[in-house]
Structure 1
Amino acid sequence: MYSNFKEQAIEYVKQAVQEDNAGNQAKAFPLYMNALEYFKTHLKYEKNPKIREE
């Protein structure tokens, strides 16, 4: 279940970078924020302590 959070976060980042590069910062910002939330959730459920440290 939790493994999907990382992939979803990466997809949000990719979309955000595309919007950012196109000059659409207003669209990019919420995408970056969504990515951050997904990364935080992924780390919350990550079982490998090495990954949680990074």
Structure 2
Amino acid sequence: MYSNFKEHAIEYVKQVVQEDDVGNYSNAFPLYMNALEYFRAHLKYEKNPKNKEAIT
């Protein structure tokens, strides 16, 4: 289940990049926040210290 958190976070990040590229910063901010929440949730379950470090 926890692997879905990382996948969702990555999808949000992809959307953020698109919004940033066109200058829609007000749309990008909530997407950043959602991505951060999913990454935080993923970190709770990540066992590999190198992966944890890369995400943080």
TM above 0.5, yes or no, is yes
1:12 is matched with which residue? 12
2:27 is matched with which residue? 27
Amino acid at match of 1:46: E
> In structure 2, how many angstroms separate the alpha carbons of the residues matched to 1:50 and 1:22?
33
State the superposition RMSD in angstroms: 1.1
Q: Which segments of 5 or more consecutive residues in structure 2 lack a partner in the other structure? A: none
- Residue by residue over 1:2-28, the C-alpha shift from the partner in whole angstroms, topping out at 9 and shown as x without a partner, is 000001000000001101111100000
Amino acid at match of 2:9: A
> In structure 2, how many angstroms separate the alpha carbons of the residues matched to 1:13 and 1:43?
16
Q: Quote the sequence identity (%).
A: 78
Q: Which segments of 5 or more consecutive residues in structure 1 lack a partner in the other structure? A: none
> In structure 1, how many angstroms separate the alpha carbons of the residues matched to 2:44 and 2:30?
21
- Residue by residue over 1:28-51, the C-alpha shift from the partner in whole angstroms, topping out at 9 and shown as x without a partner, is 010011001100110111122332
Say whether 1:45 aligns with 2:45.
yes
How many residue pairs get matched? 54
> In structure 2, how many angstroms separate the alpha carbons of the residues matched to 1:17 and 1:36?
14
